[in-house]
Amino acid sequence: MAEDERSSIKTAALEDSIWRDIPEDTFRQHLVTLEERTNAIPIKPWTLSSKEDDTLSTANLYTLTVNEEQKLADDFAYLAAVGEGAQSVAAVCIEENTSSQSMCIRLAAADAVDTKVKIHLEEVGQLLTSSRICTCQGMTNSYINSLLTKIIELQHYKLLGRLRSCKWQKPKYLSRTHKKPLWQDLDNLIHRVQHVYPRKNHPRQGPVIQRLLCLQEMLKALENIPPGRGNELASLQEVVQDCYRFCKSQEIEHFATTLEAHGSRTPQLAAALKTLQQIEKIGAFQRIAMGMIARSQTYPSLFSRIEFEYMQPYSVQSTEIGYERWAKTIHVHAEIQLIVHYDLMSSTAGISCFKPPRTVGTSKYLCYLCFLFMSHHGRFSPNNTHGRLYDQWTIPDLAEYDDAIRQGLRDVIRQMDSDVTELANDIGPRQGKRDAWRSEPMTSRQNLLHLLPSESEVES
């Protein structure tokens, strides 16, 4: 996208800047100090199991409950994020229309949403609108399959990446890493079965191994299908459905839960759990298709018309302050774009026909700074964070802000800076020690297996 097609990141006069009290360079230097003392992962991953559901008064104003709104927003964001890596994040807010019983899906991303992605999302919306009045189970299943087909077409290349298929080309940021195909990683899982169920005649050992072997054969078979839209897409759809059934089987749920709680976290155990989480992410597309169709039929009036609105991304700003040598540009994350949008809309009463959204859906867990920002800002409550700090992060500094928004953002920056400096001071210079360092976290998770929370993965 050309730079002139982006919104300017700074339009406020110097005396009106949100960085007036704490200069942005000072704030960023504090971020770098914290990164240096924590390996850029200042807090461990955290997730909220579910939001506190609606009061009666709120429930009467909205069609969806808060948790349903969260799940639907998360699912649309997951579908919209077709790129790879931690920087490929989409964020979504659901706006219910009070006058026409319809909804708007407002989507933000670091870069402009590709036209092909927009077309696919519109087709997803049309399918949901068509399925809302279906009462026959056979037709419902047909709509689920049709929606999954659309999802596979949209996420085709990303799925190949999840599978680490030979048909997938590693992106630059993974060029120096060795990534085995996912089907080969299943060998480690099969080996772990005998550690979880050590007795040879244990009644669970055989069924779990059999399920793992069947999934492995299906993944291997996919590699032998010649590249091409038809057969490959149909086979990918079967893989997604099989991964979903695999995760939802009683044998695998018991195995995964037992594995999660099994003794010390060795590298082999961590690798096995990561493999299960990759399978979850693949199977999640089937869950999304089923969940979206179910909601369209539960709330047919709300799904009678679905509109998509896309935020214009902000320009990229240069900087000389960064933890990584290559990180010399800063960006407005998708979640921050949406929060700023609704701040501006609230100040001008420009959202009158829509009920203001109560939550932000994301394709990945929140980064540390988005988590911190949302915690102090207050418009939306954060649901999770992977704990990673990306210092290439900023807030738009706009002339359009009124005094209340401007002062509110200054207060948020001050509170964030205080948290960052306090944490860095508590840790102190490490002098080569690694006791405050954490390993690189997974930036997203699809909880099909309902694994128990653990300190090294997810905390409730």
Residue pair 177/440 in contact by the 8 Å Cβ criterion = no
Q: Given this model, what pLDDT does residue 5 score?
A: 81
Structure tokens that stand for 97 in this block = 């229309």
Mean pLDDT confidence for 423-442: 70
Higher pLDDT, 258 or 59: 258
Cα 207 to Cα 182, 243, 246, 250, 426, distances in angstroms: 21, 16, 11, 10, 50
Rounded distance, CA 255 to CA 211, Å? 11
**Residue owning tokens 């050992």:** 205
Structure tokens that stand for 72 in this block = 């639907």
Query: Mean pLDDT: which of 64-68, 162-166, 199-203 is highest?
Result: 64-68
pLDDT in tens, 41-55: 999 988 886 666 655
Rounded distance, CA 392 to CA 324, Å? 10
Higher pLDDT, 171 or 131: 131
Q: Given this model, what pLDDT does residue 133 score?
A: 83
**How many degrees, rounded to 5, is the angle at CA 179 between CA 176 and CA 180?**
150
Nearest Cα residue to 357 out of 72, 53, 75, 94: 94
Rounded distance, CA 252 to CA 276, Å? 10
Q: Given this model, what pLDDT does residue 174 score?
A: 62
For 115-142, b/e burial (b = at least 16 CB within 10 A) is eebeebbeebbebbbebbebeeeeebee
pLDDT in tens, 227-275: 765 688 999 999 999 999 999 999 999 999 998 887 667 888 888 999 9
- 103 beta partners: 96, 306
Higher pLDDT, 113 or 169: 113
Mean pLDDT confidence for 206-229: 89
Q: Given this model, what pLDDT does residue 53 score?
A: 61
Residue pair 356/342 in contact by the 8 Å Cβ criterion = yes
Structure tokens that stand for 10 in this block = 């700074």
- Is pLDDT at 455 greater than 50 in this prediction? no
pLDDT in tens, 274-305: 999 999 999 999 999 999 999 999 999 999 99
- Is pLDDT at 78 greater than 60 in this prediction? yes
The pLDDT mean for the chain works out to 88
Residue pair 112/312 in contact by the 8 Å Cβ criterion = yes
Cα 97 to Cα 51, 68, 70, 301, distances in angstroms: 22, 16, 17, 11
Nearest Cα residue to 17 out of 405, 325, 437, 308: 405
Please, which contacts does 347-352 make with residues 24 or more away whose CB atoms are closer than 8 Å?
347/401, 347/402, 347/404, 347/405, 351/95
Note the pTM of the prediction, 2 decimals.
Answer: 0.90
Position 225, amino acid: I
- Is pLDDT at 59 greater than 80 in this prediction? no
Rounded distance, CA 205 to CA 234, Å? 31
Nearest Cα residue to 391 out of 30, 31, 14, 11: 31
- Is pLDDT at 85 greater than 70 in this prediction? no
Q: Given this model, what pLDDT does residue 175 score?
A: 58
Higher pLDDT, 1 or 123: 123
Q: Given this model, what pLDDT does residue 288 score?
A: 97
Q: How confident is the model at residue 57 (pLDDT cuts 50, 70, 90)?
A: very low
Backbone angles phi, psi at 446, to 5 degrees: -120, 110
Q: Given this model, what pLDDT does residue 347 score?
A: 76
Q: Given this model, what pLDDT does residue 435 score?
A: 52
Rounded distance, CA 50 to CA 67, Å? 7
Q: Given this model, what pLDDT does residue 167 score?
A: 81
pLDDT in tens, 305-356: 999 999 999 999 999 999 998 888 999 999 999 999 999 998 776 556 788 9
- Is pLDDT at 65 greater than 80 in this prediction? yes
Q: Given this model, what pLDDT does residue 451 score?
A: 53
